Amino acid sequence: MAVGFRILSRKRVVAGEWIERARALPVANISDVMSRIASGGATLRPMHAAGGMAGPALTVKTRPGDNLMVHKALDMAVAGDVIVVDAGGDLTNAIFGEMMLAQAARRGVAGIVIHGAIRDAAAIRANPLPVFAAGVTHRGPYKDGPGEINGPIAIGGMAIQSGDLVLGDDDGVLAVAIDDCRTVIEGAEAKQAAEAKQMAAIEAGTLDRSWVDASLRRLGCEMPEV
């Protein structure tokens, strides 16, 4: 077995129901429900025109600066997939560019995440297909391998299994394990409903803000007498 240079089969894929329900939620609310502990890192920023991303992960791990396995993942992807690439966060060579974007769009890919650099930034910025990356460089990639497809990866300490739910919006990228989707999405929906009520109270000028002073007193903050 060529550990580090192999293509595995994807055993499970997140159900479409959770993808659609997650698509209607802010990534921040889903993150809060996950105890604010999961994150792909603040360096993963949206590079595309606008819009959110949700879909099952097609994972790729490659050595920094090489995109051979990313090209293979493009050929394997099915409509709705999010190709998630752990390229070590290195920004020396671009892993993804305009030609690959066109191929991803043709395959019906729902999004691209590159823990590394892209190039052809203007073309990507003008396109609605979601692309998240850690940076931009004009220097092109190598195509020699090694790498793995459909194996476990980790980006910024966030573990991702192939088939997991991957989300992205202007606040960044987040992965939700398949077995956690029901708990997380239902919790985020409840949080979203509670925030809608809070926003209505703010607009009406009736929001109770007494918790701020109560928290300061509980924490022993010295405060002037009112």
34 known ligand binder: no
Measured distance CA(108)–CA(153) in Å, rounded: 23
Q: Of 101, 99, 87, 76, which is closest to residue 147 (Cα–Cα)?
A: 87
DSSP three-state, residue 2: coil
Measured distance CA(38)–CA(155) in Å, rounded: 10
120 known ligand binder: yes
3-state helix, strand, coil in the chain (%, to 5): 35, 25, 40
Tokens standing for residue 130 = 């979601």
21 known ligand binder: no
Under 8 Å between Cβ of 70 and 93: no
Under 8 Å between Cβ of 10 and 91: no
66 known ligand binder: no
Q: Of 191, 189, 195, which is closest to residue 207 (Cα–Cα)?
A: 195
98 known ligand binder: yes
- Considering only the C-alpha atoms of the chain, give the largest distance between any 2 of them, rounded to a whole number of Å: 72
**Which H helix or E strand runs over 112?**
strand 111-118
99 known ligand binder: yes
Residues belonging to the binding site are 97-100, 119-120
Residues belonging to the binding site for Mg(2+) are 120
Residues belonging to the binding site for substrate are 97-100, 119
